[in-house]
Amino acid sequence: MRVGINVFFVFSILILISTFCVFAEDKVDKSEEEMFISGIGFDRQAQTPVVLLLGKESKKILPIWIGLCEARSIELSLSGEVAPRPLTYDMVAALIRTLKAKVERVTIVDLRDRVYYAQIEVSLNGNVSKIDARPSDALALGLRMGVPIFVKKSVLDKATSFEGQGEKRGI
């Protein structure tokens, strides 16, 4: 009798786990692609830095033109260097941690008139807020907080639709 109960218990646990996995898969937003910063370049023609996002799965590349200060901050974070005094993004990260909040993710949400738009998702006490930000600011903070970077697939589609037709701005 005891063996039958154990088998039933194990079988029940397996069903619960598989059900949870199905629900977890449903929560993945298929309208977004996870990306990471593969590096910073410099556009000689536009005389401005470019952050390069690379898709984790698709290997798509999304260049976003940014300012010099933001590029330096992202570069410092990528290299693991620490500025002698806290930069603005370091201070914001420290404030978020002190308030016991958590940055959940960074998302590039739109591309309009060759300008990228981003959101920083922050949670505090179970409440989630989406804060509008420039992509360069969102990426610099996201790196410091160690969060994933997502890009809406509609943004990737728009970006490739005018690739090679001039400069895209995300500053």
Cβ atoms of 35 and 17 within 8 Å: the answer is: no
Q: Stretch 111-126: mean pLDDT, rounded?
A: 95
Q: Give dist(CA 150, CA 31) in Å, integer.
A: 10
| Per-residue model confidence as pLDDT tens digits over 3-56 | 454 444 444 443 444 444 444 444 557 889 999 999 999 999 989 999 999 999
Degrees to nearest 5, angle at CA 95 with 93 and 101 = 85
Q: Give dist(CA 170, CA 108) in Å, integer.
A: 10
Per-residue pLDDT at 22: 41
| Per-residue model confidence as pLDDT tens digits over 93-105 | 999 999 999 999 9
CB atoms within 10 A of CB 95: 10
Per-residue pLDDT at 159: 87
166 or 77, greater pLDDT:
77
Tokens of 13: 């646990």
Tell the residue number behind the tokens 């330096």, with chain if given: 72
Per-residue pLDDT at 139: 97
Q: Give dist(CA 123, CA 68) in Å, integer.
A: 30
Q: Give dist(CA 65, CA 53) in Å, integer.
A: 11
Q: Give dist(CA 53, CA 66) in Å, integer.
A: 12
C-alpha to C-alpha distances, 67 to 41, 70, 84, 99, 139, nearest whole angstrom: 12, 5, 21, 29, 12
**Beta strands at 149-152 and 61-65: parallel, antiparallel or unpaired:** unpaired
Cβ atoms of 51 and 71 within 8 Å: the answer is: yes
| Per-residue model confidence as pLDDT tens digits over 136-158 | 999 999 999 999 999 999 999 98
Percent of the residues in the chain that have a pLDDT greater than 90, as a whole number: 65
Q: What is the pTM of this model?
A: 0.77
